[in-house]
């Protein structure tokens, strides 16, 4: 059901999280009747899922797109969050009648844009790269300060003074950034220089590095969320081996994390208990969407001379999703007073305003003349030969091989096979017909499916018999037998080798 829901969400413009939440609600107490109230387990799984989602987002983010957007995204995810928290908390207190502590928790929880929702919607909304970069970087960065604020407001005892709170946030962000950068750089260097025995290990290793970055940042009392995003951003732009497979693996894990987390959150909510919290949620959400978010965007982008059209779109594109709902479990685990009400308000707010903002974002982009995207990347992958019915053969020339001294043209590969690259002494180049092969070279040979076996036999024959292979008793497929295989392809060469053997005996006599 969840996989089918992706198709529906892609056509409607809705973030798929809403359908996943609906599946969870349908399974829950007011649906099929499954009872689930383990808030602690939900928080643990939610945190784990957020780590995977942030890792997948970082791996898929192009550095050249977000680099110009980093200053604006950094201000939005720090100063912008502070403005949004203050305005939203005031609305919750004065308009919805919520106590100040609970109001501050609500303001902090809903001030974070959700990486999963933003990445999901931006895949279907053609925006200029600079805007996409700001939104992606902001959604990756702002989880860290928001988590710190929610934990601080939910802790037992009085809340720290504002300057102590700011100092704690700055310290945790610095530790998380250091951990993420260190593990990302070290991991990228290691992955490029250590040959793993199987290509399937590379995606696992990359995701393991991302999770290690989170663990290192958290154990050092820093921001693990910032660490995992920065480490994944570095790994995603490091040109690692087997990158298409790694990217696909991370994307699949990201979908699993989203589905599991949203279904679980839907199970946790009890719809018949939401009635008293619908109006407060709508009021708080309206102030957040129409006042707090636009004000934070205006103040954060003031130093960057951002056009008003882009400010308007950034204001409307502050999508909420799983992050606020997961963060709303923190006060429940800490047993803050009225924590269940906080969770219900956040849940209703996220559902209603995601339904409003998600589908209307493409329309607003077109109205603001921002719907035409800049030229997109060509989408070149590394050797997608399966679709082309082809094979990429890697051939190393050992020390004892008679391929040493043979020119590329003298390999006489069957039609449909060609040497496309030679790696020699740590550098690579495209060979010409007269390129002489040497011991230690590594050849990359592209062969179509029908001639792969013949190309392999020919390469082995040259390695054993040199440039005269096929005339000295070895049995490769000759040029005219490219389409044959097995013994049928070997017979002409064998006959020629036998004839040459008789001639050689006579010559020796």
CATH of the domain at 451: 3.30.70.1450
- Same-domain status, 424 and 472: yes
Could you give the number of structural domains in the chain? 2
Confidence of residue 65 (pLDDT cuts 50, 70, 90): confident
Asked whether residue 93 falls in the same domain as residue 213, the answer is yes
Distance CA 446, CA 52 (A): 36
Whether residue 503 has pLDDT greater than 60: no
Question: So what's the pLDDT on residue 492?
Answer: 41
Q: Is residue 376 part of a domain?
A: no
CATH at 299? 1.20.1530.20
The radius of gyration of the chain from alpha carbons, rounded to an integer in Å, stands at 30
Any idea which of 10-19, 136-145, 371-380, 443-452 has the lowest mean pLDDT? 371-380
Rounded to whole angstroms, how far apart are CA atoms 153 and 69? Answer: 30
Is 441 found in the same domain as 337? no
Does the pLDDT at position 213 exceed 90?
Answer: yes
Q: What is the pLDDT of residues 473-486, one digit of tens each?
A: 544 444 443 333 33
423 and 329 share one domain: no
Chain position carrying tokens 């390469």 = 459
Query: Does residue 373 lie within any of the structural domains?
Result: no
pLDDT of residue 478: 43
Q: How far apart are CA 187 and CA 190, in angstroms?
A: 5
Strand bridging mode 442-448 / 427-429: unpaired
Summarised one tens digit per residue, pLDDT across range 254-312 is 888 888 888 888 888 888 888 888 999 999 999 999 999 999 999 988 888 888 888 99
Read off the pLDDT band of 509 (50, 70, 90). Answer: low
* Last residue in a domain, options 332, 367, 402: 367
Does residue 329 lie in a domain region? yes
Mean pLDDT computed over 345-359: 86
Residue 223 C-alpha from the chain's centroid: 19
Backbone φ and ψ for 29, nearest 5 degrees, come out as: -60, -35
User: Is the pLDDT reported for residue 106 higher than 90?
Assistant: yes
Domain that holds residue 345: 15-367
Q: Please say which residue of 318, 334, 367 terminates a domain.
A: 367
The rounded mean pLDDT for the chain is 81
In a domain, 10, yes or no: no
pTM of the predicted model over 0.75: no
- Are residues 363 and 412 located together in one domain of the fold? no
Q: Distance between CA 265 and CA 41 in Å, rounded?
A: 11
Assigned domain for 222 exists: yes
384 inside domain: no
């Amino acid at each position: 059901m969840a996989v089918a829901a992706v198709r529906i969400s892609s056509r409607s413009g809705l973030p798929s999280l809403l359908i996943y939440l609906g599946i969870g609600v349908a399974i829950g107490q007011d649906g099929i009747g499954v009872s689930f109230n383990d808030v602690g387990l939900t928080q643990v799984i939610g945190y784990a899922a957020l780590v995977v989602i942030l890792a997948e987002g970082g791996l898929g983010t192009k550095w050249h797109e977000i680099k110009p957007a980093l200053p604006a995204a950094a201000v939005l995810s720090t100063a912008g969050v502070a403005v949004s928290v203050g305005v939203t908390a005031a609305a919750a207190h004065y308009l919805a009648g919520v106590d100040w502590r609970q109001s501050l928790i609500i303001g902090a929880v809903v001030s974070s844009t959700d990486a999963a929702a933003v990445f999901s919607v931006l895949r279907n909304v053609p925006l200029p790269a600079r805007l996409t970069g700001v939104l992606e970087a902001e959604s990756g960065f702002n989880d860290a300060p928001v988590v710190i604020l929610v934990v601080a407001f939910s802790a037992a005892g009085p809340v720290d003074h504002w300057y102590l709170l700011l100092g704690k946030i700055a310290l945790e962000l610095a530790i998380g950034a250091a951990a993420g950068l260190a593990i990302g750089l070290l991991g990228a260097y290691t992955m490029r220089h250590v040959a793993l025995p199987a290509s399937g290990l590379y995606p696992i290793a990359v995701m393991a590095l991302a999770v290690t970055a989170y663990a290192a940042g958290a154990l050092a009392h820093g921001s693990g969320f910032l660490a995992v995003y920065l480490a994944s951003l570095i790994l995603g732009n490091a040109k690692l081996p087997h990158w298409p497979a790694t990217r696909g693996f991370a994307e699949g894990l990201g979908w699993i994390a989203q589905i599991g987390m949203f279904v679980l959150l839907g199970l946790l909510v009890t719809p018949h208990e939401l009635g008293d919290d619908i109006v407060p949620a709508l009021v708080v959400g309206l102030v957040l969407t129409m006042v707090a978010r636009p004000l934070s965007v205006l103040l954060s982008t003031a130093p960057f001379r951002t056009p008003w059209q882009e400010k308007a779109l950034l204001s409307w594109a502050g999508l909420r999703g799983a992050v606020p709902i997961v963060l709303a479990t923190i006060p429940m685990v800490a047993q803050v007073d009225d924590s269940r009400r906080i969770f219900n308000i956040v849940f209703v707010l996220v559902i209603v305003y995601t339904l409003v903002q998600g589908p209307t974002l493409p329309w607003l982009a077109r109205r603001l003349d921002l719907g035409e995207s800049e030229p997109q990347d060509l989408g070149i992958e590394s050797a997608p030969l399966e679709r082309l019915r082809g094979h990429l053969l890697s051939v190393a020339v050992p020390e004892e091989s008679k391929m040493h001294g043979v020119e590329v043209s003298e390999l006489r590969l069957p039609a449909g096979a060609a040497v496309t690259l030679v790696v020699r002494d740590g550098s690579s180049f495209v060979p010409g017909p007269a390129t002489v092969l040497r011991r230690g070279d590594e050849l990359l040979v592209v062969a179509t499916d029908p001639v792969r076996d013949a190309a392999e036999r020919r390469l082995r024959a040259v390695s054993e018999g040199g440039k005269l292979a096929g005339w000295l008793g070895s049995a490769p497929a000759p040029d005219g037998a490219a389409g044959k295989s097995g013994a049928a392809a070997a017979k002409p060469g064998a006959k020629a080798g036998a004839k040459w053997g008789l001639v050689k005996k006579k010559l020796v006599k």
